[in-house]
Structure 1
């Protein structure tokens, strides 16, 4: 059984949130729908009379979608960080252990055992091991919680092997 104790901070939550933005399919779908809506709105309000006008409308739609998507993500991350305080169970000290049955987590009063079937994926994300749970929850283990890069790598490899074997 491999074990690690981590201390999750707001900085960890912020960095993982930023790193996950381009990796989540829902963000791209949102920006695509937003771009399409802006493009249709431009076409309805001002019918383009040539190819140049159509190109300008397409660029405006992409720019609007990018701006709208980034604004929404910024507001969501800022709201999340403002709601996280010292008493929040997401922050603070957590103890994780890898077992054949699943991932054990002890965090004060919130002890849990997640079977490998309840974990959607195990991945690495810019200095973190991320356990994505079914239902879009995540557990984050920062690299600094491990004694060395080799220990970090070994923990990730063992978790990946256990998830694959399950």
Structure 2
């Protein structure tokens, strides 16, 4: 899996975990935890990958959300491929709509998060001029399922990838 694909794949963790916190401007409308603390696994058979944009899907992936208190969010994401660790990401963020840092494969990546519902956020990655800007809508659809709809190419239309994560613990 390419470094770009791994970095993108690891950003899924940021999107999933960011779903737990409100943006300051919308804190009155959407508040409190989204109930996503715990361990989540990528449900590979139910997910739809776009290998042309991101490379091959991982063999497995686990997201561990350790803080989900309505103001802060902390997570670790580890994905594995046939060679071992394919992607690694971690962050602890106060999400107020301003850009914040996440670590993806030992590189700092800037993301911003906007809460768009009691159980949903959008997450956007920011890069240097000319870099690909990706966005993801992340929704906890029920107590044991998270849906991630990813726009990778920046073109209007249906999501480029759809990932399903299920609660492990």
Shorter chain as denominator, the TM-score bin is 0.3 to 0.5
Task: Identify the structure with the greater helix proportion.
Answer: 1
Q: Which one has a bigger Cα radius of gyration?
A: 1
Task: Identify the structure with the greater strand proportion.
Answer: 2
TM-score (norm 2): 0.32
